[in-house]
Structure 1
Amino acid sequence: MADKKKMICNIVFLILVFTGTLYGVFHGEDLGEIVHILKTVNPLWLIPGVICVVVFIWGESIIIFYMMRTLGIKLKKWTCFLFSSVGFFFSCITPSATGGQPAQIYYMKKEKIPIPVSTLVLMIVTITYKLVLVVIGVTLTILGQSFIKAHLYQVRYVFYLGTALNVFCVSGMLVLVFHPMLARTILVKGLDLLEKMHLMKKKSSRLEKLNASMDQYRATAVYLREHVWVLVEVFAITVFQRFALFAATWFVYKAFGLSGSSAFVIIVLQGTISVAVDMLPLPGGMGISEQLFLRIFLPIFGSKLLLPGMLLSRGLGYYTELILSALLTIFANFTIGRNVEKG
């Protein structure tokens, strides 16, 4: 019952944010002119953009497939693709993408995959997924100040905040993984403080759950130490996966017949938007992503094509991903676990 209420709240929140985003983007704009401009794009350039979205979802499924194999669990690649789709769908509709992994664990459990195993795999997926953003953010902050001044000067503080939040998140996860006892001590003291301040009710079950979580982190630490090369390969796949999605914006750029800006600049700029919004409590970074695009890409698309360019870019990078993963999630709901049940 509680999960249903939470899902309803997430959907309502998504609708509110989506409505606010539409108003913020289209208020005062000539919709007729926007539609006219969109009709002039070359659709052939949008096909590889859609492929980029599929590759993005497919990339995580390959990681899940590969890591499950290293743990002795044999799955079909199509099943892993469905797991990946479920994760992206629930990440798209929940604040800070918090709903993705719980949903994936639920569907993996239907395939008789032990929760500690699925938790281990998905934790490593999350660490490498965010580590790519950390590398982009830190590299630009330290070595790319000229790039920031040329392309991100107006939004540099949002970019720095996103980088700092991602660094904090990844650092915290690595501390949990490699120093579980230190992490347990910090969390226990934090819970004790919240209980003393009467912000949380005292429950013994909460401490039991914490101990169980620490066991999972210890298992992750052991795996990381014993499978370093596996992690290197997973990180390489994740880099390819994330940059494939960023590349969709370049195909949008070409669909308008534009030239003058390199694929590298456009892909990196799209990556900086992900860095800035990834940790913000908004479904898919909705609202802030659109505003950052309109500021960052103005010199590249020009004032006339900026809004249509943003619509196509976000349409590919977020809404196509949302719709595709939603359809595959529906399919997963009727197929995952059925063969296990029959067996």
Structure 2
Amino acid sequence: MKALKQKAGFILQILIIILIAALTFHKMFHGEDAREIIRCLRRAKKCWIAIGALLMVFFVFAEAVQLRILFRGMGQKISLFRCYLLSNIEFFFAQITPGAAGGQPIQMIYMGRFGVDMLVGALACMVIAVLYKAAFLLIFLVTLLLRPKLVLGTISRVPVLFSFGVIFQLLSIFFLTLCIFRPAWASALLEKIIRLGVKLHIVKHPDRARAKAKYSVEMYRNGSKFLKEHKWVVARMFLYTVLQRLAYFSVTFCVAKALHVRHADWLGIVAIQVILSLSVDALPLPGAAGANEAVFLRIQERWFHTEERLGAALLLNRGLTYYFLLICCGAFTVCANFMRKKRHHGYLMDPTGAPFNPEQIPENMTETSGIPETVLENATEAEGTSDNME
């Protein structure tokens, strides 16, 4: 029954995405401008569109490489292809769930099915999340430093959404900092939030929520220890994270080139796309459907000028960064479901690949590290030879 409800929920979210997309495209193609938009699309340079598609493939592949680097550093034997499947799974479910909340939890379930220890899988998701925010912040600060007038002028066009997105990111960074440096404070804060949720009848299972909160805080604290003890591994992962984000933001530059925008400035376009992501990523909408399109039309006029070219740019950019990504990742997710499940006798997951239960804390989890001693031993042995492993 629970599985049926989950499938029904995913189907409903996909239908919502299709409905919002249909309404958006209907509004764009309704009237005289539709013919001009189609003409712009027909005149577009196919080579630049292909480059944009390749950048999105690299966007997914970069996370697979990050997973591979971390798993090898922790002594987990898993092929690059399976890491690529895990990356596709994460992006697919992130695209169809509000606020991209469903990506990593489902990715962790598939990690267990592929034989990855659940604690290592949770640590991988945590490290990638931290590096993602760090790379995002770095790119934004660099663009603000190099293109201050452009960045500030663009922010003034969407002040409310941008402020909401920045506040959300700052709160996330604040919570991560608490988990890493003051885990007791983070636990106390979460306890107050859970109690408030119980009073407001939002949290129906407080004991389960407390167990999940305790596990999350512990994993982030353990993640900080991993970051300190495996600096070379983390540095390589961070490099791929920066390249991954730049590849995603550069798709719009390819779209501009495809539509014959001669004065297209790569850094300027990247700066505007960073602002767009900050403005809509935190919204509780699957894939930020509707909001992404509206903000794009509002802030990208600088490069595409005419309504026809701007409409064509939206179709190409959204088609590559969302719908192309959704279809490709969906296909690989189906492929992953047909693969034979690898029997896994690790921690916090049974051989059938059942989801994580935060109340099942392993007995051999050390108080200082929170990671089973066997995994720590594998990490120590593997770090020096990770580059030679297949």
TM more than 0.5: yes
2:186 to 176, 183, 207: 183
Question: Which of the residues 124, 129, 153 maps onto 1:126?
Answer: 129
Conserved 8 A contact 1:25-1:290:
no
CA distance in structure 1 between the aligned counterparts of 2:296 and 2:272, rounded to whole angstroms: 9
Structure 1 residues 258, 143: closer, same or farther in 2, change over 3 A? closer
Which string of whole-angstrom CA distances, capped at 9 and with x for unpartnered residues, describes residues 222-255 of structure 1?
Answer: 2122123332322221110111111111111111
| Contact 2:147–2:268 under 8 Å retained in 1 | no
Cα deviation, 1:87-144, whole Å, max 9, x if unaligned, reads 0011111111011101111111101212211111011111211222223445556775
User: What is the aligned counterpart of 2:309 among 305, 311, 330?
Assistant: 305
Distance verdict in 2 for CA 1:221–1:29, change over 3 Å: farther
Whether 2:222 is the aligned partner of 1:222: answer no
Residue aligned with 2:215, SS:
helix
**Residue 221 of structure 1 aligns to which amino acid in structure 2?**
S
Identify the match of residue 69 of structure 1 among 67, 72, 94: 72
Say whether 1:260 aligns with 2:271.
Answer: no
Q: 1:336 & 1:298 partners in 2: Cα distance? A: 49
Structure 2 Cα separation of the partners of residues 258 and 143 of structure 1: 22
The correspondence for 1:18, drawn from 7, 17, 21, is 21
Q: 301-310 vs 144-153, which deviates more? A: 144-153
- Deviations 1:14-36 (Å, cap 9, x if unpaired)? 33433343345445453233222
Question: How far did 1:298 drift?
Answer: 1.2
In structure 2, distance between residues paired with 1:106 and 1:24 = 40
Report the more deviating stretch, 268-277 or 16-25.
16-25
Q: 1:25 to 1:339 in 2, by over 3 A?
A: farther
Give, in angstroms, the shift of residue 186 of structure 1: 1.3
Deviation at 1:151, TM superposition (A): 4.3
Query: Distance in 1 between the 2:218 and 2:167 partners?
Result: 28
Measure, in 2, the Cα distance between the counterparts of 1:165 and 1:197.
Answer: 22
2:276 and 2:296 in contact (8 A); partners too = yes
- Do 2:10 and 2:96's aligned partners in 1 also have CA atoms closer than 8 Å? no
Q: Does residue 41 of structure 2 align to residue 38 of structure 1?
A: yes
1:6 corresponds in structure 2 to 9
Unmatched 5+ residue regions in structure 1? Answer: none
Map 1:143-158; keep pairs closer than 5 Å: 144-158=147-161
| CA root-mean-square deviation | 2.4
Task: Return the structure number with greater helix share.
Answer: 1
Question: Structure 1-normalised TM-score?
Answer: 0.90
Q: Tell me which of 227, 243, 250 is aligned to 2:246.
A: 243
Distance 1:150 1:206, change over 3 A: closer
Alignment of 1:77-226 (within 5 A): 77-138=80-141, 144-201=147-204, 203-226=206-229
Q: Distance in 1 between matches of 2:154 and 2:195?
A: 46
Identity %: 32
Offset, 1:152: 4.3
Distance of aligned partners of 1:178 and 1:335 in 2 relative to their CA distance in 1, 3 Å threshold: farther
1:182 partner amino acid = W
What is the identity, as a one-letter code, of the residue corresponding to 2:289? M
CA distance in 2 between counterparts of 1:208 and 1:42 reads 54
Q: Retained in 2: the 8 A contact 1:133–1:163?
A: no
> Does the aligned pair in 1 maintain the 2:65–2:83 contact within 8 Å?
yes
In structure 1, what residue type is equivalent to 2:232? W
Q: Which consecutive aligned stretches of 4+ in structure 1 deviate over 6 angstroms post-superposition?
A: none
Instruction: Give, as a single letter, the amino acid of the residue that structure 2 aligns with 1:212.
Output: Y
Shift of residue 220 of structure 1?
Answer: 1.7
